[in-house]
Amino acid sequence: MEASFRPVSFLFLAFLFLPNFLFFFFCAGLSELRCIDTERQALLSFKQHLIDPSNRLSSWTAHGDCCLWEGVVCHNLTAHVHQLHLRSFYPVWDASMSSEQFDAEFEAYRRSRFGGKLNPSLLDLKHLNYFDLSFNNFNSTAIPSFLGLMKSLTHLNLSNAGFVGLIPHQLGNLSSLRFLNLESYEAYGLYVNNLEWLSGLTLLQHLDMSWVNLSKASDWVQVTNTLSSLLDLQLSYCQLRPFIPPTPTVNSSSLLTLDLSGNNFENTLIISRIFGLCNLVSLDLSYNHFQGPIPVDLQNMTSLSHLDLSRNNFNSSIPNWLYSLSRLEFLNLGGNNLQGTISSAIGNLTSAVSIVIDLPSNRLNQEVSKILEILSRLYRLETLGLRHARLSGHLTDVLGKFKKLVRISLRNNSISGPLPVSLSNLSSWTYLDFSYNQFNGTIPQSFGQLSKLEILFIGSNMLKGVVSEVHFSNLTSLKYLSAFGNQLTLKASQNWVPPFQLENLYLQSWNLGPKFPPWLCSQRCMQYLDISYTQISDMAPPSFWNLSSQFYYLNLSHNLIHGEIPKSPLILSAFAIDLSSNHFKGPLPCISSNVYLLDLSNNSFSRSISHFFCFKVNEPKIIVHLNLGKNLLSGIIPDCLMN
C-alpha cells in the first residue's frame, strides 16, 4: 500500500502547488515588462513636437520605461500603451479660495498648458483607447485629420484645447468611440458643415459639442437620432438653426441627458415635434427665446429629475401638471415672464432639492409665509429662489421648518416687517438674498452667528439703526456683503479687525464716518468696493492706497475725503474708479493702461495734466469714460491725449 500511495500523493501535491508556482513565475515576469520599444519611440516623437513650458513631461526620456511616464497608462499584461492623460487642469473656483489664490492657480494653469502640434507618430500606438488633451493651448490650429485613423480609441477629449477650424469628418471613422468631447474653448472657433460623419459612431454614448458652430448643420436632429447608444448629448450655444424637422418624433429612447441651452430657438413646437423623450432624466432649454406657455408635451417626461427652462420668454402661468413631475430634484423657471400665482400643488415636488421661480408679471400678491409653509414640506430642499414674485407680508419663523435649506433668494418682492431674529438658528446657511424688499427695523445681532454664511445681500430695503462688531462676530466665511440703500450706521473700534476677508463690499448710503474705516485696510482679497455717500470726512491712509492694485471696481464718491493720492510708483489700476465729489487735492494720480472708467470730477486736483496723459505714453490705453471736470487743473493739453 505504501508503494502505491506515494505516487498519488506526489501528483496530488504537484497539482496543488502548480497554480501558485505558475502565478509566482508569471508575476515575476510581469514585474520586468517594459513598454514596447516602437511605442516609446512614438511617444518621444510626439513629445518633440509639443510645447511643454513647465516641463511636465520631464520623465519622458530616451531610455526610460514609458509605462512609468507622466500621463501614460499601459496595459498591466501586455504593456501596450492604452491611455494618454495629457489634459491641463483649469482651476475650479472654490468658495474658500481668495481671489489671489485663484489668480495664482490660473496663472499656473496658463503656464502649464501644452501647445505646438500633434505628431502622426501617435498612429504607432495601435492599442491606444483613451486620449485626453483637454484644456491645453494648441494656438488656434486645426484638429489633425489623422486622429480618424486611431481606430482603437473609445474615449477622445479635445475640449477647450485651443483647436479651431473645420472639425475633420475623419473622426467619424472612430467606430469604437464611446466618448467624444469637442467643446470649444474658443467660442465658435470650431465649426462643421454637417454632422453626417457622426453616423458612423454607432457606439457613442457621450457627445459634447458645446460652443461649436453648428449653424450649417441642418441635419443635427436626424443624425443624432440615429445614435441609438447615445445617453448624453450636449449642444449648448451651438447656433443651432430653429427649424421644424420633417420627422414628428425622436426615436433615441436611450437618451438620458439633453442640453440645448443658449441656442436661437423661439417656437416651442421644436419641443413637441422633436423631443418626446420619455426616458429623459435631465433637460436644459435655458437661454433660448421660447415664448408663450410652457409646452404641455413636457408632462410626458415623467422621469425628469433636472429641468431648466430659465432665461426664456415664457409668459403664461405655471401649469399644474408641472407639479406632478414627482421625480424633479432641480427646477429652474427663473428669468421668464410667468404670471399668476404659485399653486399649493408645488408641495407635491417632494424630491426637489433646488427650486428657482420668477414671476415678474404677477399681479396678485401672495403671502410669503403661506408659500414658505407649503415649501417647507419639501424636506430635501437645499436651494430656494422666489424672485420677482411680488410676495408680500412678513417673514415669520417659518424658515426654521426647512431642515436642509442652505441657499435662499427672496430678491425683489414686497416683503415687509423686521428680519426675524430666529434666522440665526439656521447655522448651515451659505447664501441669503433678501435685497430689494421692504424690510424695516434693525439688523438682529444674532446674524453674527451665521458662521457658514458666504454671501449676504440685504441691499435696497428700509433697515435703520446701528450695526456693531457684534453683528459680524462669527461671520468667518463671509465673502460678499451687499447692504446698500439702507439707513444704517456702522460703529466699530479703531483697532477692529473683522473675522472675514471680503471680496465684494457694497455699503453705499451707510454712515461710516467721519473717520475713514481703518478695518478696510485689513481686507486683502477685496476686488469690488463701494462706500459712496457714507459721510467720510477724513484722509484715506497710505495702507488703503497700497491695496488699490487689487481692486477691479472702486467707488469712494460723494464723501468728504481729502488729502493727496500718493505719487508714483503707486498706480491706480482698477477697471472702474470713481473718486468724484470729494476734496482730493494735489496732482492727478497715475493710472494704468487697464483703466476703463475714471471719474475724478468735483475735487480740488491741481497743477499740470501733462504727466497724467503722458504717463507710459507708449502703452495703449483702453480708457473709454474720463471725467476731470470741476477741478483746479492748469497748463497745456498735451499731444499725448491722442493716445
Q: What is the pLDDT of residue 420?
A: 86
Q: Above 60 in pLDDT, residue 8?
A: no
Q: Above 50 in pLDDT, residue 464?
A: yes
Q: What is the pLDDT of residues 530-570, one digit of tens each?
A: 999 999 999 999 899 988 888 999 999 999 999 999 876 56
Domain ranges of the chain: 244-417
Q: Above 60 in pLDDT, residue 456?
A: yes
Q: What is the pLDDT of residue 403?
A: 86
Q: Above 90 in pLDDT, residue 242?
A: no
Distance of CA 289 to the CA centre of its chain: 22
Q: For the chain, give percent helix, strand, coil, nearest 5.
A: 25, 20, 55
β-strands 553-555, 414-417: how paired? unpaired
Q: What is the pLDDT of residues 356-368, one digit of tens each?
A: 998 876 655 689 9
* DSSP SS3 for 634: strand
* DSSP SS3 for 401: helix
Q: How confident is the model at residue 275 (pLDDT cuts 50, 70, 90)?
A: low
Output the average pLDDT for the chain. 87
Q: Above 90 in pLDDT, residue 623?
A: no
Q: What is the pLDDT of residue 570?
A: 67
For residue 528, give Cα distances in angstroms to 547, 577, 601: 12, 10, 21
Q: How confident is the model at residue 389 (pLDDT cuts 50, 70, 90)?
A: confident
Compute the average pLDDT of residues 84-107. 75
Given a contact cutoff of 8 angstroms between Cβ atoms, the answer to whether 350 and 374 are in contact is no
Compute the average pLDDT of residues 223-239. 93
Q: What is the pLDDT of residue 637?
A: 84
Given a contact cutoff of 8 angstroms between Cβ atoms, the answer to whether 615 and 590 are in contact is yes
Compute the average pLDDT of residues 41-52. 96
Q: What is the pLDDT of residue 17?
A: 42
Please, how many CA atoms are within 13 Å of residue 401, restricted to the half-sphere of its CB?
A: 14
Q: What is the pLDDT of residue 109?
A: 84
Q: How confident is the model at residue 9 (pLDDT cuts 50, 70, 90)?
A: very low
Q: What is the pTM of this model?
A: 0.83
* DSSP SS3 for 104: helix
Q: What is the pLDDT of residue 166?
A: 96
Q: What is the pLDDT of residue 457?
A: 96
Q: Above 80 in pLDDT, residue 21?
A: no
Q: What is the pLDDT of residue 31?
A: 45
Compute the average pLDDT of residues 180-207. 92
Q: What is the pLDDT of residue 640?
A: 78
Indicate the range of 78-87, 113-122, 236-245, 349-358 predicted with least confidence: 236-245
Q: What is the pLDDT of residue 47?
A: 96
Q: What is the pLDDT of residue 14?
A: 41
**How far apart, in whole angstroms, are the C-alpha atoms of residue 541 and residue 547?**
11
Give me the CATH topology for the region 244-417: 3.80.10
Q: Above 90 in pLDDT, residue 424?
A: no
Compute the average pLDDT of residues 60-65. 91
Q: How confident is the model at residue 265 (pLDDT cuts 50, 70, 90)?
A: confident
**How far apart, in whole angstroms, are the C-alpha atoms of residue 314 and residue 548?**
44
Q: Above 50 in pLDDT, residue 1?
A: no
Q: Above 60 in pLDDT, residue 429?
A: yes
Q: Identify the H or E element spanning 457.
A: strand 455-457
Q: What is the pLDDT of residue 251?
A: 54
The candidate with the shortest Cα–Cα distance to 156, out of 109, 201, 212, is: 201
Q: What is the pLDDT of residue 20?
A: 46
The residues facing 564 across adjacent strands are 585
Q: Which of 31-45, 147-161, 281-295, 399-413 has the highest mean pLDDT?
A: 147-161
**How far apart, in whole angstroms, are the C-alpha atoms of residue 388 and residue 437?**
10
**How far apart, in whole angstroms, are the C-alpha atoms of residue 522 and residue 508?**
19
Cell 485696510 identifies what position?
Answer: 521
Q: What is the pLDDT of residues 97-145, one digit of tens each?
A: 666 667 777 788 888 899 999 999 999 999 999 999 999 999 889 999 9
Compute the average pLDDT of residues 397-405. 87
For residue 621, what is its C-alpha cell? 490705453
